[in-house]
Structure 1
Amino acid sequence: MTTTLTAEKLAQRAVDVNVLTEQDLNGVWAEFGTRAVDYEPFKQSLVRRGLLTNYQLDRLIEGYRNGFFYGDYKILYGVGAGTFARVFRATHVRTGELFAVKVLRSRYSRAGGDDKRDLFRREGELGAQLKHPNIVGIHEVVSSGATNYIVMDFVEGQNLRDFYKVRGKFDPLDATRIAADMMAGLNYAFLKGITHRDLKMSNVIVSSEGDAKILDFGLAGMEGAEADEANPRTIDYAGLERATNVRKDDTRSDIFFAGCIYYQLLSGKPALAETRERSQRLSKSRFMEIKPLLDVAPGVPLPLARIVTKALELDPARRYQTPGEMLADLKVAAKRVAEAKDNPALLEEQVKLEGQDDAGEARKLMIVESDHKMQDLFRELFKKQGYRVLVTTDPERLFQRIYDDVKAFDVIMLSSGQLGREALDAFNKLGGDMRTKLIPTVLLLGEGHGVLAGEAQTTSSRIVVKMPLKGSELRAAILKALAGK
């Protein structure tokens, strides 16, 4: 049988659950001059006076007797909800100070939810170790039976995902400030031996002052089932870790996903193809097929694009090694871009040279040439274009260097000038060895050696050119070999 709710019955419910006191209610009764007040005006008065929030009122009307307090914290209203927990705005019952209270969903607090409770508790305990302006602080962790909640700083603002949905692409300097805040927080955690392992826009809060703060460090360094490919919260990390063969707590994975966020803020487009399909999210090709930022957003200042490119290197060894390294570059780049607002020529002077990769790093060009005058000509030609030029006179020295480190060079040029057939043999040897066949290589045949071209084993990244030719044509051949890799 449904009970008709009256003003007095609603008031009694509020007193019974301690959300209101008799003293609070006396002021309301005085306003109406009687307790025999209509239900609707009474409800409106409670909300108007700030005695109840709509959340509290709805729970009272529905007959709930719990969910109004967690420890010393009075729940005001919900501010967010996820798969595992809900987040509420709350006040401390004695001080009135604002906090956020994250409450584990009831289905995980009951019997059978031990793994989720353990993960939730771990999240709180790890986060409580981190006290930094760019990390949402945790003040209290309670995990006892069916009562599981975390008390955090309440940040006036919204998560970056929702902010981005409203705003879309960010101004480059605004995006860089957010990226720098993220890296400052990540670096502080890194220095304490803690990684995040679930970095995404929804785990970054942007305060009303514009500061970015990271939350949810709970999956940092997790081992076992909760951190493997089956966990929906970490599946993107699992895909990257599998593709790059790194440990689950490698800070460079956090750097990669911070780079993804920065990419999207700058371009208005996601770096990774968005999909709910588990197999696609775990696929290595998804991480290999990120479009260069400047192809997607040509207007992004080059110093910022270089940072994104380095952060998103698939090879962890070529990525930033610590958040602090990326933070340092962000600060320098932000200063350059800010200065260039009044003097655009400052950025125009930084146009990427053809000898630099997408991150602005010099490509390593090994030249095999026995004529010293030609060595000097080649050095001058390619150094001007940003290459790091290395020279040897002996093909055998070349192979010694490569076998010591197959990544020692980005591209090789063999000149037959005084070497003749020896240069051709070295070219074909490189192409026939599994360790070296993919290294972009150009064979420059001197005058009188053109007949050797027919014996050269060529591919899209292994090219033969003949003298005479212009310096620009030789440069183009090097670029063609690099592009064919």
Structure 2
Amino acid sequence: MDFSSSKGLAKELVVMRLITKDQANASLRKLGGKNKTGSDLLDVMLETSVLTPFQVESIKRLDTDVLILGGCKLLYPNAAGSFARVFRAEEIETGKVVAVKLLRHRWVNDPETIDLFRREAELGMKLKHPNIVPIHSVGSENGYHFFIMDFVQGGNLKDFVQIRKQIEPAETVKYAIDMARGLEYALRLGFTHRDLKMTNVVFSVDGSAKLIDFGLATDDELLEKVGEGGVQHALEYSTLEKKTGAPRNDPRSDLFFLGTILYEMLLGEPPYPRTKVREERKQITRYRNIRPLSDAMPGCPGYVAYIVDRLLHINPDERYQSPTEVIADLIEAKGKLDQAAAAQQKEAESGELVIPDEVTLMCIERRPREQDVLRDYFTRHGFRVLVISDVERAVRRLNTDPPHMVLCMTTLRPEESLHEVYEDLITASSIHRIPTVMMVPNVEADHKIPLGREDIIHLRPQPMALRDMRKELTLVGQQAGIIPKEVPK
């Protein structure tokens, strides 16, 4: 490359198709004078943004083969790992902005790693879905291995969470639906992700979440060799599956790591400490000892915390069994959150507490007269009331068609304990994260509620005036995100 002459260098850059003739002539005119060198020209092109800093530095290093790949000129690096780098690039013919993922030079003589890289690209080319970033082509030129995909303008989820710290439940659920739909589509074609983490979730300008970097299902030997590179997260997948008896490439593993993403979005902290120590990442206790979100974040709506905690169940049989299954619960949660937001808006405009029309209150009361009183009173105050006299029937209803809240008027003999008589009800309410107020004759008695269920099972004394009972239910409903909080007057 001729750096002795500005005109000579300009001609070479035009031949390379890195710049146009018009750009070359404009830069030479701006440079002016005689005896100007190629370095002088590069300074002008950098100043006028004809070339980027990355391009200028590559030209100075005589490393120009990397600047044009697959009919695209690379503009600047956008993301990097020890396995590959991603560049913002531009199609020479159309000017369209794209992303070029480039295998690092250290791997160019390693057939297995090259095969892994190409496998990712070829798999990605088969995936055409609104929540998956499409890959358009894969190639090798000048000793470089690369593939070309859409460039997504909105940044990645990790940066988003670092800036926002915590993401509101409604927004988290919206993005969770996007991610789960991408996983659902890929699974229908027989593919799992195997590297689901926040840096592999990006945002488009329309605010939707999209998945990148499918296809990293690798064997353990290749994992050992690649080490801390772009497939490092696959070690977590391998550990989780081996130590829980799950089959390799289990789709439910993607759901577990979807749970880790949602956990960090909501809480602002990861479910387990990050570490680069390989042996620590291979310990199953790291994944087993996750504190339930329902405990770590009491203010999170119970039905949202339930979804995350179920995704993070260490036993794969206790997790959601497919993306489709989790999508159904996420859509239901989104509906509840949307309605709560609408009720809050209506409340703010009217200055009065508004109970959403869809809030169903199950009242468990065996006495017919009291049943009528409860039904009439709570219906008049905006609840949809379901009265059940038998606890066993109530438990069956909780397991098949759960209400939003439960009010249980308990009856206990002196020798009976609350947990013994109402164990099935407490368990069902806890599993389905249904806020349950249990009216007990003596709230000071030693009524043992299982550890970790105190945010679901609330003990209150009876007798209690209906007005006070409604206040207690409203407070519990507000804490669970079911009933909007009262506007201060």
Q: Give the TM-score normalised by the residue count of structure 1.
A: 0.69
- What is the distance in 1 between the residues matched to 2:318 and 2:214? 25
- What is the distance in 1 between the residues matched to 2:57 and 2:362? 60
- Name the stretch that deviates more: 230-239 or 209-218: 230-239
- Partner residue of 1:425? none
Q: Secondary structure at the match of 2:50?
A: coil
Q: What's the CA shift for 1:225?
A: 2.4
- Name the stretch that deviates more: 47-56 or 90-99: 47-56
- Partner residue of 2:137? 140
- What is the distance in 1 between the residues matched to 2:341 and 2:421? 45
Pairs aligned (count): 383
CA 1:45–1:384: 2 relative to 1, 3 Å: same
CA 1:5–1:339: 2 relative to 1, 3 Å: farther
Q: Structure 1 counterpart of 2:221, which letter?
A: A
Q: Is the radius of gyration larger for structure 1 or structure 2? A: 1
Q: What's the CA shift for 1:118?
A: 0.7
- What is the distance in 2 between the residues matched to 1:104 and 1:229? 15
- What is the distance in 2 between the residues matched to 1:51 and 1:275? 42
- Partner residue of 2:316? 316
- What is the distance in 2 between the residues matched to 1:30 and 1:249? 60
Q: What's the CA shift for 1:29?
A: 2.5
CA contact (8 A) 1:235 1:282 kept: yes
CA contact (8 A) 1:74 1:90 kept: yes
Q: What's the CA shift for 1:348?
A: 12
After superposition, what is the alpha-carbon deviation per residue over 1:21-45, rounded to whole angstroms, capped at 9, x for unaligned? 5443222223455454587874453
- Partner residue of 1:277? 277
Q: Secondary structure at the match of 2:100?
A: strand
Q: What's the CA shift for 1:62?
A: 2.4
Higher-RCO chain (CA-CA 8 Å, sequence separation at least 6)? 2
- What is the distance in 2 between the residues matched to 1:9 and 1:83? 36
Q: Structure 2 counterpart of 1:103, which letter?
A: L
- Partner residue of 1:380? 390
Question: Given the alignment of the two structures, is residue 173 of structure 1 paired with residue 170 of structure 2, yes or no?
Answer: yes
Q: Secondary structure at the match of 1:341?
A: helix
CA contact (8 A) 1:29 1:35 kept: no
CA contact (8 A) 1:219 1:227 kept: no
Question: Given the alignment of the two structures, is residue 68 of structure 1 paired with residue 64 of structure 2, yes or no?
Answer: no
CA contact (8 A) 1:101 1:150 kept: yes
- Partner residue of 2:241? 241
Alignment of 1:149-160 (within 5 A): 149-160=146-157
- What is the distance in 1 between the residues matched to 2:279 and 2:356? 45
Q: What's the CA shift for 1:59?
A: 1.3
Q: Secondary structure at the match of 1:253?
A: helix
- Partner residue of 1:28? 27
- What is the distance in 2 between the residues matched to 1:67 and 1:85? 14
After superposition, what is the alpha-carbon deviation per residue over 1:305-343, rounded to whole angstroms, capped at 9, x for unaligned? 111111112221221111111112111111111111243
- Partner residue of 1:459? none
After superposition, what is the alpha-carbon deviation per residue over 1:242-281, rounded to whole angstroms, capped at 9, x for unaligned? 2221122111110110011011101111112322232332
CA 1:72–1:475: 2 relative to 1, 3 Å: farther
After superposition, what is the alpha-carbon deviation per residue over 1:83-126, rounded to whole angstroms, capped at 9, x for unaligned? 1111111111211111111111111112xx11110100111111
- The match for 1:213 among 210, 223, 234 is 210
Q: Structure 2 counterpart of 1:137, which letter?
A: P
Q: Structure 1 counterpart of 2:114, which letter?
A: R
Q: Structure 2 counterpart of 1:19, which letter?
A: L
CA contact (8 A) 1:109 1:145 kept: no
Alignment of 1:261-410 (within 5 A): 261-343=261-343, 345-346=355-356, 380-381=390-391
CA contact (8 A) 1:17 1:66 kept: no
- What is the distance in 2 between the residues matched to 1:350 and 1:317? 30
- Name the stretch that deviates more: 326-335 or 34-43: 34-43
Name structure 1 gaps, 5 residues minimum.
354-377, 390-440, 445-468
After superposition, what is the alpha-carbon deviation per residue over 1:216-254, rounded to whole angstroms, capped at 9, x for unaligned? 11214x445236898533111112112221122111110
- Partner residue of 1:82? 81
CA contact (8 A) 2:85 2:101 kept: yes
- Partner residue of 1:104? 103
- Partner residue of 2:407? none
Q: What's the CA shift for 1:299?
A: 1.6
Alignment of 1:412-451 (within 5 A): none
Name structure 2 gaps, 5 residues minimum.
345-354, 364-387, 400-418, 423-439, 455-489
CA contact (8 A) 1:136 1:152 kept: yes
- What is the distance in 2 between the residues matched to 1:301 and 1:200? 24
CA 1:61–1:352: 2 relative to 1, 3 Å: farther
CA contact (8 A) 1:102 1:151 kept: yes
- Partner residue of 1:52? 51
CA contact (8 A) 2:177 2:330 kept: yes
CA contact (8 A) 1:442 1:481 kept: no
- What is the distance in 1 between the residues matched to 2:443 and 2:398? 18
CA contact (8 A) 2:101 2:148 kept: yes
CA 1:216–1:351: 2 relative to 1, 3 Å: farther
Q: What's the CA shift for 1:4?
A: 7.7
- Name the stretch that deviates more: 338-347 or 144-153: 338-347
After superposition, what is the alpha-carbon deviation per residue over 1:127-166, rounded to whole angstroms, capped at 9, x for unaligned? 1110011111000012479331111111112111122112
- What is the distance in 2 between the residues matched to 1:329 and 1:107? 45
Q: Structure 2 counterpart of 1:92, which letter?
A: E
CA contact (8 A) 1:108 1:116 kept: yes
Q: Structure 2 counterpart of 1:83, which letter?
A: S
Q: Structure 2 counterpart of 1:226, which letter?
A: L
Q: What's the CA shift for 1:475?
A: 10
- Name the stretch that deviates more: 78-87 or 203-212: 203-212
Q: Give the TM-score normalised by the residue count of structure 2.
A: 0.69
CA 1:475–1:116: 2 relative to 1, 3 Å: farther
